[in-house]
Structure 1
């Protein structure tokens, strides 16, 4: 599978762009404290279970049940239990908004900062580059198409775009699924991120101007990749994707002029946790508890061969981080957003 050079988005000169630099912070105009809602897109790192979603995959709908009406959306509730996210507990968007943290059901409308989550577990950016994991999977491109058609007309009646921060965390599956492709990876990732921002542009056309983009975690340090001398993806591939993401974000900001795009360096924050786990209450960074999905894992972890509680692990399972790590990441993200 090869990608022609002419498919690449032409990049403007990219001079010393640093996502956490004082310069990039100074030009950010939106104030997270004044935002009323977070509208999220992505994959299993971001998805939350909804009462009208596909179990273990979405807040609402799927590719085979694509359309929904206003009543379905507005009556939908966030589910919070052991299986309502891919982390065994709340994830970063729930911690960031404080919406849906309590066990049971929460209506996004009743949160001080509303969380409207259209991420789909197992999503890639587009079938143009990688196949769907399942025939019901909603890719990022289709998440945004679905949002435009069915959610935006409803939400914008009470949530103006100016009061909503759009968050996108995607690429984890893309880089993993394509890690053994016979392609020129910098070009391939340039095309992936071009398509990502083509879809973000559709949200811009709906009036949204504040965007948060998360870069890739250290996928080369998952338990499986730590156990091999040939990780897939490797650190170089992860870095190439993150570089392409930063370049496209900067290009989008320059071309639009009136948009704020902040790229949060999740890779650096999570790498710091892996490098100095003791500072974060983590004792295990190399593997995960085999009983992570057992209903009594919180209190009976030793029965599954785990010497310490689940919250002391970095990895929840072979590819996802624990809720404890998501909580720390969300706290650092909130501080960063508030500048």
Structure 2
């Protein structure tokens, strides 16, 4: 079994983890859950990830809201050190659980639904994905829509309920054999072109801070209850701030423009980051797990 990860706390209030004692060799399995910042349009009923397309269906880069690859795609195809078969259950618009914070429309699979899909199809370790506790990494980037859809309501109460449910779902994955987790915190969506001019942007900023501040404490509690869990929290603020601080270095004329090509501006649209920010996030994840999974 892989050694536990110890958390190193950063000034931002997020945390990353110290490297594992031993690198994972051979084929790796990356199970990913999230929203449109992560989604690629993957369907478990379609073509499965393989050496020729480690993301499975649809063909690379997938159906994304970045104009190209999203962070799991960069990890699976450019930043990987060996074959990384990636099952991306993320769905645009997702929240943790629709019974707590509803997605923008009914029928959007939440993290709860995505976890159920994984449990039904991957927990039994099918022949197309003979993963092990050591070879599998579980990635979650969620919360953007939870706070985005609720910050004008009782945001603090909802954040607490969301995080309760979030970590109960991690428990479900742990019970199913998951041991290695990478959790991305909420990025500064208050600085997106769409939200920074919102009259109540201060409420959104506070909700993001509330979520991100609670995350390390929640992880510590989760690890205490599940001592075999290896958990890395990745702070997404530094990669976002790097691009916002020098947009021209990343191919954009300024911090406000958007273009669906995902390359000539920082933003795919007024709310979704393009490929430059997505790659910076992926590089941050890879660095946090350097010498292990990436």
Q: TM-score, normalised by structure 2?
A: 0.82
Following superposition of structure 1 onto structure 2, how do residues 159-174 of structure 1 map, counting pairs within 5 Å?
159-174=131-146
Query: Which residue pairs with 1:107 in the alignment?
Result: none
Using a 3 Å threshold, how does the CA distance of structure 1 residues 233 and 46 change in structure 2: closer, same or farther? farther
Query: Which residue pairs with 1:301 in the alignment?
Result: none
Specify which of 36, 48, 66 is matched with residue 87 of structure 1.
Answer: 66
Using a 3 Å threshold, how does the CA distance of structure 1 residues 285 and 32 change in structure 2: closer, same or farther? farther
Instruction: Report the Cα offset of residue 17 of structure 1.
Output: 4.0
| Pair 1:47-2:39 in alignment | yes
Query: Which residue pairs with 1:214 in the alignment?
Result: 184
Bigger Rg, which one: 1
Query: Which residue pairs with 1:138 in the alignment?
Result: 109
Using a 3 Å threshold, how does the CA distance of structure 1 residues 91 and 206 change in structure 2: closer, same or farther? same
Using a 3 Å threshold, how does the CA distance of structure 1 residues 319 and 204 change in structure 2: closer, same or farther? same
Using a 3 Å threshold, how does the CA distance of structure 1 residues 38 and 169 change in structure 2: closer, same or farther? same
Cα distance in 1 for partners of 2:59, 2:253 equals 26
Instruction: Report the Cα offset of residue 44 of structure 1.
Output: 0.8
Cα distance in 1 for partners of 2:205, 2:25 equals 35
RMSD of aligned Cα (Å): 3.1
- C-alpha deviations, 1:234-273, integer Å up to 9, x for none? 3222111111222212221222121111000012321232
Tell whether the 8 Å contact from 1:122 to 1:137 is kept in structure 2 after alignment: yes
Query: Which residue pairs with 1:331 in the alignment?
Result: 283
Cα distance in 1 for partners of 2:130, 2:239 equals 35
Query: Which residue pairs with 1:98 in the alignment?
Result: 77
Following superposition of structure 1 onto structure 2, how do residues 219-238 of structure 1 map, counting pairs within 5 Å?
219-231=189-201, 234-238=204-208
Cα distance in 2 for partners of 1:31, 1:194 equals 32
Specify which of 64, 72, 77 is matched with residue 56 of structure 2.
Answer: 77
Structure 1 unaligned residues grouped into runs of 5+? 1-14, 50-58, 62-67, 102-110, 293-297, 299-309
Cα distance in 2 for partners of 1:165, 1:16 equals 20
Cα distance in 2 for partners of 1:141, 1:80 equals 26
| Pair 1:321-2:292 in alignment | no
Greater share of residues in helix: 1
- C-alpha deviations, 1:252-300, integer Å up to 9, x for none? 12221211110000123212321233444443212323xx2xxxxx5xx
Cα distance in 1 for partners of 2:228, 2:207 equals 32
| Pair 1:190-2:190 in alignment | no
Instruction: Report the Cα offset of residue 84 of structure 1.
Output: 1.3
Query: Which residue pairs with 1:285 in the alignment?
Result: 255
Cα distance in 1 for partners of 2:255, 2:285 equals 21
Tell whether the 8 Å contact from 2:101 to 2:150 is kept in structure 1 after alignment: yes
- C-alpha deviations, 1:208-259, integer Å up to 9, x for none? 1000000011110110222345327532221111112222122212221211
Cα distance in 1 for partners of 2:58, 2:203 equals 32
SS at match of 1:236: helix
- Number of matched pairs: 277
SS at match of 2:139: strand
Following superposition of structure 1 onto structure 2, how do residues 288-307 of structure 1 map, counting pairs within 5 Å?
288-289=258-259, 292=260
Query: Which residue pairs with 1:25 in the alignment?
Result: 17
